[in-house]
Amino acid sequence: MPGKHKNPTIAFRPSGWQRALIEERAAMSGHYKKDFIARSCIYSNIVVVGNQVNIKRIVDALQEMQCTM
Q: What is the pLDDT of residues 20-53, one digit of tens each?
A: 999 999 999 999 999 999 999 999 887 777 788 8
Domain boundaries, the chain: 16-68
pLDDT of 37: 93
More confident residue, 17 or 7: 17
**Rounded-to-integer distance, Cα 20 and Cα 46, Å:** 22
Q: What is the pTM of this model?
A: 0.61
Q: 10's torsion region: left (phi>0), alpha (psi -120 to 50) or beta?
A: beta
